[in-house]
A and B are shown apart, each in its own frame.
Chain A
Amino acid sequence: MQRVELQPAFVVHARPYRDTSFLVDFFTPDYGRLCAVARGARRGKNSQRPLLNPFIPLLISFQGKDSLQLLLSLESTGHGLPLTGNRLFSGLYLNELLRRVLSEWDSCPHLFEYYTEALRALAGDQDVEVVLRRFERQLLQELGYAIDWHCEAHTGSPLMADAWYRLEPQEGFIESAPDERGRYYLGANLIAIAEDSYELAETKRAAKHISRTLLQPLLGDQPLKSRQLFL
């Protein structure tokens, strides 16, 4: 039986379990995503309950033998990140993404840092789209699905600003003349995305499309539900 003390964590999702408990999905740096039972947390005046919500930085202690852990204690290390409106929906989108593509017990300290940064940026006043695109790229990179954002996939020569490219999810960007079928990206936009500069609306559109294409094989047939929330 392993016992883990004071591990930083965020709640990804909590759902009612039995009469008085919650089954909680946590995201931690050293243990990745894990599932723990918060026993008795749904009882009337339980002090854990307000903390079992997403977007609050926590320290958790848990123990267990197999995949399901027992939550021993939790405390918050700071204020919850106040997300409202579209920023709240974006936070839920990040959580749904984590839940769908991250397997349990897969340690990913970098991704935890990126996630924390993304939530802070959402709680601040950064452009929502830029925050989401950046996190999606970091997520793909940490999961080992990164593509080369600097070189053409077949020739290995650097991307050129005035050339057109198509995306092959397994390989990368391939230079080809645009036609009516399929989607083509201007080199300038790809270079801008690689440099994390999203000043043009066109760059944002390209980044969104590329993210969706790359995430598609990881998500399978079921679309992300949180996308429906954006009005």
Chain B
Amino acid sequence: MLARRIIPCLDVRDGRVVKGVKFQNHEDVGGIEELARRYAQEGADELVFYDISASPSGRTVEPEWVGRVARQIDIPFCVAGGIRSLEHARARLFGGADKISINTPALEHPDLIDALATEFGSQCVVVGIDSRVIDGDWRCHKNTGDPSKTSTEHRKTLDWIREVVDRGAGEIVLNCMDQDGVREGYDIDQLAAAREACSVPLIASGGAGAREHFRDVFEQANVDGALAASVFHKAVIAIPELKSWLSSEGVEMRV
């Protein structure tokens, strides 16, 4: 049976891995390759690299470090941040990334999703969504890497999920912004609603603080994977122990 995925997320800024709380006050947590190697060794099922400074400043990630990461690890990884064209995507995929994830550019130019899926296949097109409740509805946000540029979209999150899947997205990462970095548990209500709306793999993001949070999001929101950052970076939770505990709790794992 298909295993649920445990996915450390590495927020990259200026070539280093950083971590913020609710998308602010970033602190340095290590080198990109060093952390990537460590997580692969520890049994991470996949890695996600977010260049969080890319979208607000109009830059894109350097394909060069994508290649360096690819030489270091032999598990799948996804690269996100400022990918605005087929050429940006191609450089990262041919550099060794397995998937590319788009967020703000997808909101600004939804046709990019169709173009990426047609060119490279849905299996490598991930759409990241930053979402929180505004006026009683879950709504998308963009440019969340820079608090001064973050803005609320008119789009409702669940409608956007249906649209991006129709356009060819092969996976959704739903980051529940109110939970980000606070380690109080995933937003089960929002993720369960997203699960209903989402016919492709769904990855939960934001809020992991204890091993029970992972079990709960797999059991109650039925997500395919759970993404987390600070609990891994700060060694609050060790991946090998997390995976064997989840397995003992009846969650299908690669252990």
A and B bind: no
